[in-house]
Amino acid sequence: MSANNLLILMSDEHTRAVLGAYGNRIARTPALDRLAAEGVRFANAYTPSPICISARASFATGLPVFEHRCWSSAEGWRGEPRGWMHELRDRGHDVVSIGKLHYRAAEDDLGFSASLLPMYLANGGRGWPQGLLRRPMGDFPGAAEMAAVLGPGESDYTRYDRDIAAAAVDWLASRPRGGMPWVLFVSFVSPHFPLTAPGEYYDLYRGLEIPPPYDRAAASRLRHPVMDTMREFWNYADYFDADSEMEALRNYYGLSSFLDANIERVLGALEASGQTGNTQVIYTSDHGDQIGNHGIWGKCFMYEDSAGIPLLLRGPGIAPGVNTTPVSLCDIAATAAAAVGAEWPLPAAAWRGRALQSFVAAPEPGRAVLSEYHDGGSPCGVTLLRRDDWKFVYFADGHAPLLYDLQADPCEMSNLAGEPAYAPVVDEMREQLFRMLDPEAVNRQAFADQARMIEALGGIDALRAMPSFNHTPLDGG
């Protein structure tokens, strides 16, 4: 494949369920729907971890969480292991970021030629360390804020996204044609809460019947000791009633449309620059959001709403279509290299990323991808394995697994793991997972690393005294 430029557009906490291209007939996302129609929509894309910092480290390095060991919201990537940004910059490419990074700190060499309007970790690079307290489990009083701050209106985040879009438009307008292919990474924060959508986008959903969350009733939903502990910790849903939850949904939909409008501005600038014909474009999100389904708001869970992500690829050499290959953000590193005509140097392994371009002509529905969670609220490591129509969720420390047939049960209402007829599938999926990693050993490693970090931060009392927050403040905390 000849070398092209690459434009990567990333959002924060965008569940693929609120996107027209993924079948939502209410969501108004024309720019992303057009991008999907002109390129490839990956139907089964996943985050390597349903939490920002861990997922973005995998996006940079092409490695799953158990290899880069940025386990939590306090363990940000600092440029090691090396990422695709370093590789391409060292080859002479201009590799520029605009917007949210959520990497550790500005003093780290993250591989970019330049970073405009960056967002790093709060607390001086320490992020949100309270999530390290898992044995014994801490608490999260900040959960009350989500339901208390609802739009319509503007927020620091929506103003930030407008600035990001404007900077991207200016960069594309000033970029001369020719020379080495460039990579521009434009990273928005919408539709991440606060759920405050600008009025014109909120108004798109006034009077519309947005489907209410499903599996909301506590009496009938899945009971599992780890899931119950996480639900108790991340108890955003406890602060909603029926009316405020629908208001939250209108704002989430509005923020998704606001995001789409900003992406339209950037894609319009790319077209005006005359470089659409030699630029591949990726759209994705770092993770999703439960938006009330299964009685949960926010991310962190292995349900499709938060572990599944949108992923679109358009450009020269990319035949339009829908691709069922399981893919993940781990694949972006090799994809970026392939787009500009470079080789990704990471040794091949079943759990590591591959170039998305390789799946366009040759889909692999039987491919397996991973997602992991080792952050706040979870008493143990949680690992997802997706392959074909099967989704297997393994909980360390002897907890019972989950198994879903996503073709027959896309809303994940029926756990098949305890049914004798599905015991062979459970055994097969467990064996495949253990060929990729030992989740018990990974769980022990994560807790050991986090114990050392707690000690380095001055111990539990010092950690509890540090600033906590519901979402990363723009001033860096």
Q: What is the mean pLDDT of residues 205-210?
A: 94
- For residue 152, what are the domain limits? 5-465
Q: What is the mean pLDDT of residues 154-159?
A: 97
Start-to-end C-alpha separation, the chain: 44
pLDDT tens sequence across 225-267: 999 999 999 999 999 999 999 999 999 999 999 999 999 999 9
Of 89 and 177, the structure prediction assigns the larger pLDDT to: 89
pLDDT tens sequence across 310-339: 999 999 999 999 999 999 999 999 999 999
Helix, strand or coil for residue 459? coil
Q: How many Cβ atoms sit within 10 Å of the Cβ of residue 196?
A: 19
Query: Domain for residue 72, yes or no?
Result: yes
101 half-sphere exposure, CB direction, 13 A CA radius: 30
Structural domain tally of the chain?
Answer: 1
Query: Domain for residue 454, yes or no?
Result: yes
Tokens 């608490």 appear where?
139
345-379: b (≥16 Cβ within 10 Å) or e: ebeeeebbbbbbbbbbeebeeebbbbbbbbbbbbb
Distance, CA of 375 to CA of 453 (rounded, Å)? 13
- The CATH number of the domain holding residue 171 is 3.40.720.10
Structure-block tokens of residue 144: 């009350």
Q: Is the alpha carbon torsion for 57, 61, 62, 66 positive or negative?
A: negative
Q: What is the mean pLDDT of residues 50-58?
A: 98
pLDDT for 446: 98
Q: What is the mean pLDDT of the chain?
A: 95
Helix, strand or coil for residue 466? coil
pLDDT for 477: 40
pLDDT for 2: 62
Q: How many Cβ atoms sit within 10 Å of the Cβ of residue 39?
A: 21
Query: Domain for residue 285, yes or no?
Result: yes
pLDDT for 475: 66
Q: 279-285 and 5-12 as β-strands: parallel, antiparallel, unpaired? A: parallel
The secondary structure element, H or E, covering residue 246 is helix 242-272
Query: Domain for residue 378, yes or no?
Result: yes
Identity of the highest mean pLDDT range in 23-37, 118-132, 172-186? 23-37
Query: Domain for residue 241, yes or no?
Result: yes
Q: What is the mean pLDDT of residues 49-66?
A: 98
pLDDT for 350: 82
Identify the bridge partners of residue 98 per DSSP, sorted by sequence position.
Answer: 116, 186
pLDDT for 256: 98
Query: Domain for residue 17, yes or no?
Result: yes
pLDDT tens sequence across 392-430: 999 999 999 999 999 999 999 999 999 999 999 999 999
Percent of the chain at pLDDT > 70 equals 99
